[in-house]
Structure 1
Amino acid sequence: MKHVLFYELAEGAVGLAQEHYPAHRERIDEFHRRGLMLLVGTFSDAPVGAMAVFTTREAAEEFMADDPFLRHGVVGAHRVREWDEVLQP
């Protein structure tokens, strides 16, 4: 079972996103290096939203706990959903 984090940009937060992106990207890189984040990216209608796939719910919650985008109001709505990957290696 994987866990998918969905982010939606807060209204009017494009400037905030640009300001806090470097720290947010550092956090992404850290979780990827640790093997906790498997995939991440924005949707084609960005900057409306993004998603990331984590190995566990705990990893997703740890990521969110100190994500600059959440701490500084870049993200409006967010949620984590369990995902039962069918084509597992």
Structure 2
Amino acid sequence: MLTILLYDYVPDILQRREPVRPGHLALIREYYEAGRLRLAGAIGEPIHGGLLVFTDEASAAEFVLRDPYVLNGLVTAHRIEPWHVVIGA
């Protein structure tokens, strides 16, 4: 079982994320390299949210508390859910 973190973003995310995006991507890289994060990316066209797949719930919850997108008001809501994978790598 994995854990997903779903973000809803502010409508003007593409404009507002630029100052904090390097920190957000660095945090993603940190969790990925530590083996705690499997996948991450934006949702929608235009982008309206994000999806991150973690190895456990604690990692997802900790990530939210550290994420520059959350700390700077770019995330309007988030959910952490267990993901019961049926098939996949």
TM-score (ref. length: structure 2): 0.90
CA distance in 2, matches of 1:87, 1:81: 18
Partner SS state of residue 45, structure 1: coil
What residue ranges of structure 2 are gaps of 5+ in the alignment? none
Equivalent residue, structure 2, for 1:86: 86
C-alpha displacement of 1:86:
0.8
Does the 8 Å contact 1:3/1:60 carry over to 2? Answer: yes
Q: Aligned letter for 1:15?
A: Q
**Identity across aligned pairs (percent)?**
29
CA distance in 2, matches of 1:32, 1:46: 25
Cα RMSD of the aligned pairs, angstroms, is 1.5
Equivalent residue, structure 1, for 2:37: 37
CA distance in 2, matches of 1:17, 1:11: 11
Q: Aligned letter for 1:52?
A: L
What residue ranges of structure 1 are gaps of 5+ in the alignment? none
Partner SS state of residue 35, structure 1: coil
Q: Aligned letter for 1:6?
A: L
TM-score (ref. length: structure 1): 0.90
Equivalent residue, structure 1, for 2:19: 19
CA distance in 2, matches of 1:23, 1:46: 22
C-alpha displacement of 1:11:
3.6
CA distance in 1, matches of 2:32, 2:13: 25
- Runs of 4+ more than 4 Å apart: none
Partner SS state of residue 3, structure 2: strand
